[in-house]
A and B are shown apart, each in its own frame.
Chain A
Amino acid sequence: MQNLKKYFLVSIASLAFVSCSSDDDNPAANNVTLEFNNTFKNNTIVLGNAASASATANTSAAGQVHHFSELKYVISNIRLIKDNGDEVPYNVNDLDKGAAVIDQAKTTTLSYVLSNVPSAAYKQIKFGLGIKAEQNTLDQVRFPNFYAAAGANDTEMMWEWGSGYRFTKVEGFYDTDNKAMSIHTGSTVEGTAPNYTQGVNAYRDITLNLTTNAVVGSKAPKIKIEADFDKLLSGKTNTITLSTGTGMDNNATPNIHTAAQMVKFVDNLGGNGSSDITGIFSVTGVEN
């Protein structure tokens, strides 16, 4: 026991050493703000109910006019890439500190502040649309804050039956008779990557080049990210025509959870992981 105490003291001391030295090694850090602008092409989206005159209307490649009443998505697994190629992960294993629900109805959620980012010049940002399977378990004990934010009554970003989070939730209306559209995406995978036992992996990794280096140091830069929801229906991968009904090809209502239909929306939103790694996202500017 005497020995144990000694070891314990030494280990405490060594921890103190490590943190001291890391303070010395680390240069200053600062905040980086990610500012999300959700648009149809270049027009910032205004939400509205079925009869709304102020809601931003958009027309898809297939000729269907549509507008949204609700628009939410989850980002996580944020990484900044330095000019020299080094990758700086931002709380990638902690949904409470490194993931967010972007909600068009809540202005504060449109700016996500990354704190204590090491000073450097950054040329690229990567993030996930959705949540990686290993963290997508509705673990209220590990990530109570994210669980609460996603599960709140006005957020509804939980997919109970799949024990996971919704990655995207878009509610709205389409065609001139304002039929309901309800596009929910989320993963249904079981087992572990990359050889899932079953299900659909709706997580997509996004890579965006910055328009100019974001220089973190004495200043806290802002990265402006546009999410163009015109591509939801008229994407790089799929041109989607909405249809209402209970058949296998009907895709406008939540049964798109179900069929191969959901993947078409997922690929348009977050890219297909190969030829498209940006999906609906692009960087429109960096304010240093």
Chain B
Amino acid sequence: MQKIIGLLLLSLLSWSCSNDDSDMVLIDNPEIAFNIPSGFPELNAFFSQNKPTKYGVELGGKLFSEKRFSADNTISCSTCHIQVNAFTDHNAQAIGIEGRVGLRNTPSIQNLAFMKFYNWDGSKLQLETQPLVPIITHEEMDSSILEVIGKIKDDAPYKELFRKAFGDENITPERIYKSIAQFEYTLISANSKYDKVKRNEQSFTAGELQGCQTFEQKCASCHTTELFTDQSFRNIGFPINTNTSEAGRGRVTGGASDFMSFRVPTLRNIEYTAPYGSFGQFADLKSVLDYFDKGVLDAENLDPVFKDNDRRIPLTEEEKNNLIAFMKTLSDHDFLGN
């Protein structure tokens, strides 16, 4: 009996060896050069398991714009994640097929390779696990991954790209998730006026400079690092989304301290991502600053930044204008494609 098992194992071994040999197809699909902008935080831990390759990114970009991801073939990722808006849109809450309104404001997609958490509530820690969510969500694409694969599997351009990216024409869920993540990893914004000033290539106007100073004083404790977010979750007393499914990060962790807490959003390209807030409560930057100045809603778990300061960030009109001027220096026109 032992002999038979031994032979069986041996045969399996030689089987896989021969497989490797016959599958060796020479496709030149190099990893793409990935330059980490100076001062950026370290890469997400899962990045190294799915480094962007030339054809992986090309495939991911094509899938990102694929409307057949949705049940009625009307909506792709790029319907809501629009490049000129730093890959978000101008709707207060995301709008899916048949005009269905989602729970939250579409987040921008930029510098995700450096993020530890994804989504307003940090429900995902690995980018590759995210694409399935909009595909199956009723208010978004309302489809399923096998329905999607069924629609695209006979397309010659896809077959070719899957082969170039992954070695054969098999279209699998994992390959779809990985290629979309690879595409998103490459969306790096680090060439705004702010960045150029840091590199001594340009200089701030007087107003921008004053805005920068106010920012350092009154905003940078949360909107810190080169990502302009410390990636923490905070309840900052914004007007509350009364949808009963909403509880902010509390719905992920179950913790009372996370109730109605949301990720501190990046401020990069903020000029182009209005409206603001987890469900688009604020039409423009001025109204956000006015709200901070006037005072935010109280809550048991209101962030100490507000709790300890009479629930407000006092700002003069001049400070607000200068802050907005400074925030506009975070617009990266190369990234936005304009």
Could you list which residues of chain A lie within 8 angstroms of chain B, going by C-beta atoms?
A: 3-4, 7-8, 10-11, 14-15, 17, 138-141, 144, 147, 151, 158, 160-163, 182, 188, 190-191, 197-200, 246, 248, 253-255, 257-260, 262-263
Query: Which single residue of chain B is at the shortest CB-CB distance from A17?
Result: B4
Known interface pairs A151-B144, A163-B132, A253-B244; A8-B137 also in contact (CB < 8 Å)? no
Q: Within 8 Å CB of B136, what residues of A?
A: 138, 151, 158, 160
Known interface pairs A4-B18, A248-B250; A11-B259 also in contact (CB < 8 Å)? no
Among A4, A140, A162, A248: residue with most chain B CB under 10 A: A248
Contact indicator A246/B242 (Cβ below 8 Å)? yes
Contact indicator B122/A198 (Cβ below 8 Å)? yes
Q: Within 8 Å CB of A188, what residues of B?
A: 123, 251-254
Known interface pairs A190-B124, A253-B244; A199-B4 also in contact (CB < 8 Å)? no
Known A7-B7, A17-B4; 12 more pairs at CB < 8 Å? A3-B14, A11-B11, A140-B146, A141-B172, A144-B146, A188-B253, A190-B125, A197-B125, A257-B251, A259-B251, A259-B255, A262-B254
Q: Within 8 Å CB of B12, what residues of A?
A: 11
Q: Within 8 Å CB of A14, what residues of B?
A: 4-5, 7-8
CB distance from A205 to the nearest CB of B (A): 19
Q: Within 8 Å CB of B250, what residues of A?
A: 248, 258-259
Question: Which of A8, A138, A139, A197 contacts B15 (CB under 8 A)?
Answer: A8
The B246-278 residues at the A interface (CB cut-off 8 A) are 246-248, 250-256, 259-260
Q: Within 8 Å CB of B205, what residues of A?
A: none
Q: Within 8 Å CB of B8, what residues of A?
A: 10-11, 14-15
Q: How far is the CA of A263 from the CA of B255 in the complex (A)?
A: 10
Q: Within 8 Å CB of B247, what residues of A?
A: 248, 255, 257-259
Q: Within 8 Å CB of A254, what residues of B?
A: 244-245
Contact indicator B244/A4 (Cβ below 8 Å)? no
**B41 contacts the other chain (CB 8 A):** no
Q: Within 8 Å CB of A257, what residues of B?
A: 245, 247, 251
Q: How far is the CA of A198 from the CA of B116 in the complex (A)?
A: 12
Could you list which residues of chain B lie within 8 angstroms of chain A, going by C-beta atoms?
A: 4-5, 7-8, 10-12, 14-15, 18, 122-126, 129, 132-133, 136-138, 144-146, 172-173, 240, 242, 244-248, 250-256, 259-260, 300-301
Q: Within 8 Å CB of A198, what residues of B?
A: 122, 125, 252-253
Query: Which single residue of chain A is at the shortest CB-CB distance from B122?
Result: A198
Q: Within 8 Å CB of A151, what residues of B?
A: 136, 144
Among B12, B132, B172, B242: residue with most chain A CB under 10 A: B132
Q: How far is the CA of A199 from the CA of B123 in the complex (A)?
A: 8
Contact indicator A258/B259 (Cβ below 8 Å)? yes
CB distance from A169 to the nearest CB of B (A): 14
Known interface pairs A7-B10, A8-B15; A200-B253 also in contact (CB < 8 Å)? yes
15 contacts across the A-B interface (CB closer than 8 A): A138-B132, A138-B136, A140-B145, A141-B173, A144-B146, A163-B129, A188-B254, A190-B126, A198-B252, A246-B240, A255-B247, A258-B246, A259-B251, A259-B255, A263-B254
Query: Which single residue of chain B is at the shortest CB-CB distance from A259?
Result: B250
Q: Within 8 Å CB of A160, what residues of B?
A: 133, 136-138
Query: Which single residue of chain A is at the shortest CB-CB distance from B260?
Result: A248
Q: How far is the CA of A248 from the CA of B301 in the complex (A)?
A: 10
Q: How far is the CA of A24 from the CA of B254 in the complex (A)?
A: 52
Query: Which single residue of chain B is at the shortest CB-CB distance from A15?
Result: B8
Q: How far is the CA of A229 from the CA of B255 in the complex (A)?
A: 26
Contact indicator A246/B244 (Cβ below 8 Å)? yes
Q: Within 8 Å CB of B10, what residues of A?
A: 7
Q: Within 8 Å CB of B5, what residues of A?
A: 14
CB distance from A130 to the nearest CB of B (A): 15
Q: Within 8 Å CB of A138, what residues of B?
A: 132, 136
Q: How far is the CA of A141 from the CA of B148 in the complex (A)?
A: 12
CB distance from B124 to the nearest CB of A (A): 7
Query: Which single residue of chain B is at the shortest CB-CB distance from A148?
Result: B144
Q: How far is the CA of A75 from the CA of B145 in the complex (A)?
A: 24
Q: How far is the CA of A258 from the CA of B138 in the complex (A)?
A: 19
Q: Within 8 Å CB of B138, what residues of A?
A: 160
Q: How far is the CA of A7 from the CA of B31 in the complex (A)?
A: 38
CB distance from B4 to the nearest CB of A (A): 4
Question: Which of A8, A141, A161 contacts B11 (CB under 8 A)?
Answer: A8
Q: Within 8 Å CB of A191, what residues of B?
A: 125
Q: How far is the CA of A11 from the CA of B16 in the complex (A)?
A: 14
Closest 4 CB pairs of A and B: A258-B247, A258-B251, A7-B11, A11-B11
Query: Which single residue of chain B is at the shortest CB-CB distance from A9?
Result: B11
Q: Within 8 Å CB of A158, what residues of B?
A: 136
Query: Which single residue of chain B is at the shortest CB-CB distance from A199?
Result: B252
Q: Within 8 Å CB of A139, what residues of B?
A: 173
CB distance from B107 to the nearest CB of A (A): 13
Question: Which of A4, A144, A162 contacts B14 (CB under 8 A)?
Answer: A4
